Amino acid sequence: MPFVILLILMAVGDVLWWRHALQQPRRWMRWMGGIFATFQLAGLAVILASRGGTALEEAMPRPLHSMIFFWHLLVLLPWLAWRSLGGLGVLARKLARTPQPPEISPVNGGAGFTRREFLGAAAAFTPPLLTLGAAGVGETQLDDFRVRRLIVPVPDLPPALDGLTIAHITDLHVGRFTRGRVLERIVEEANRLDADVVALTGDFINHSLRDLPAALELVRALRARSVVAACEGNHDLFENPRIFYRDCERGGLPLLRGGLADLTVRGQRVQLLG
């Protein structure tokens, strides 16, 4: 239900943005804003249709896909909240019956923007420009990943486990944005760490079960001195949790689902919870 509500808010936001764009004073502003809003709403529809088992989104260039995600998840909803707060402020002033001085627009012969037009244009086009810029920067980083080395002090740790290494791999999101050579690089770098334990904490796929075989192939290629263990993430369960669990079991990926596993690591009994 929360996911459905979020989708409804996104669609409503696109419609309100389209309406806001059509209220701009210049024709070219209305055209640009309207085209951008129509593209975003259509893109959202394509992505949602793909969740039903079709591959419509595969035909969409990845930069456009990135822009649609960034717009709906990081720009549109805050803009919608800002507009809502502004509307509540107007309503509060009306209820308080506070007299407002009439707005006087300076005479403009059409040669340039009035101050009000300029502020309106800035409010209308800053979010799309932010979306375009952020999506462009994100595209240059999609095939990168980060390895961070942390030393975690554990009081009363058994001497046998002193220096134990855990390779924590998370949020692979195999799918539209993570595929191909970058998956091989992740395996190579993780195996190079030669960790005692490899812990995978979910979001193996972005949302489509079509990408699960590639994710399972990656997991099977991982190496650990003692154990490779995993639990699921929320993205793994978007499409069909039952099929996800079944295919993981068939693919040789036992998941810790609210349980624990008894292991022997460096000769020491260890309980792993997931």
Helix axes of 241-250 and 212-220: crossing angle, nearest 10 degrees:
40
What does the pLDDT look like over 207-236, one tens digit per residue? 889 899 999 999 999 999 999 999 999 999
What is the rounded distance in angstroms from the CA atom of residue 192 to the CA atom of residue 119?
A: 54
Instruction: Point out the least confidently predicted range of 64-73, 177-186, 213-222.
Output: 64-73
Q: What residue type is 222 in one-letter code?
A: L
Higher pLDDT, 155 or 80: 155
**Region for residue 31 given its phi and psi (left: phi exceeds 0; alpha: psi -120 to 50; beta: otherwise):** alpha
Predicted confidence band of residue 97 (pLDDT cuts 50, 70, 90): low
What does the pLDDT look like over 133-142, one tens digit per residue? 888 888 888 7
Q: Provide the b/e sequence for 71-90 (b: ≥16 CB within 10 Å).
A: bbeebbeebbeeeeeeeeee
Question: Measuring CA to CA, which residue among 241, 219, 223 is closest to residue 232?
Answer: 241
What is the rounded distance in angstroms from the CA atom of residue 175 to the CA atom of residue 177?
A: 6
